[in-house]
């Protein structure tokens, strides 16, 4: 059973529709009691890093997510949810993240227009179960103004938008996509199916 973490600042409708489409069992996690029976977690998110972290704490999701990660449960962060996996963000001043992947989140520096919005290609750097069946240069859908700054060993795929954008990251049982797989049609469906099968 997949638990979809609801931090109250994300629209989870597109994600839950895609999970229904691929036949995945899921439940919405909106409090600590909802983690019972969950064996994977998806952490979606839109909005700002500090508000998302504040909400995770306020609604009792922060510590259970960290505990699940420590126990080896697969976790997938999407867009802002991916950024929350890192140690820190500079968005609206320094904010602490979940600390599940080493690195920090910084503003995209060299783009003419922000946010980075629309379809871009993936440059797949490393084999991973989460990317099984995804072709080199697959088009996926991005909406963001900040990017991860992390070491190469945590980066599975990148995209280019002014800066090099870590597009898929991992650290053991922790995965993240800067793009929205639920809005990325064929390739996003494959990635979510791969996550379900972990």
Active-site annotation holder among 91, 116, 144, 180: 180
Cα separation, 47 vs 60, in Å, equals 19
Active-site annotation holder among 10, 79, 116, 144: 79
Active-site annotation holder among 32, 87, 182, 189: 182
CA 149 to each of CA 82, 131, 154: distance values in angstroms, whole numbers, following the listed order = 12, 21, 10
Active site residue 10: no
Cα separation, 23 vs 161, in Å, equals 34
Cα separation, 104 vs 89, in Å, equals 5
Among residues 89, 108, 93, 1, the alpha carbon closest in space to that of 45 is found at 89
Active site residue 96: no
Active site residue 21: no
Q: Which residues are catalytic?
A: 79, 180, 182
């Amino acid at each position: 059973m997949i638990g979809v973490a609801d931090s109250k600042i994300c629209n989870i409708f597109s994600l839950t529709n895609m999970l229904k489409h691929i036949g995945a069992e899921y439940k919405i996690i909106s409090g600590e009691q909802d983690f019972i029976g969950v064996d994977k977690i998806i952490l979606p998110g839109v909005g700002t890093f500090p508000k998302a972290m504040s909400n995770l704490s306020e609604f009792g999701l922060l510590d259970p997510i960290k505990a699940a990660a420590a126990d080896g449960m697969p976790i997938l962060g999407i867009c802002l949810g991916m950024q929350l996996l890192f140690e820190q963000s500079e968005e609206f001043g320094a904010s602490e993240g979940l600390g599940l992947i080493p690195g920090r989140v910084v503003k995209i520096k060299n783009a003419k227009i922000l946010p980075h919005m629309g379809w871009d290609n993936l440059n797949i750097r490393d084999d991973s179960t989460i990317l099984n069946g995804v072709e080199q240069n697959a088009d996926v859908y991005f909406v963001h103004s900040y990017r991860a700054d992390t070491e190469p060993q945590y980066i599975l795929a990148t995209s280019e938008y002014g800066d090099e954008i870590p597009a898929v990251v991992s650290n053991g049982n922790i995965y993240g996509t800067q793009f929205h797989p639920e809005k990325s049609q064929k390739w996003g469906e494959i990635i979510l199916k791969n996550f379900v099968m972990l």
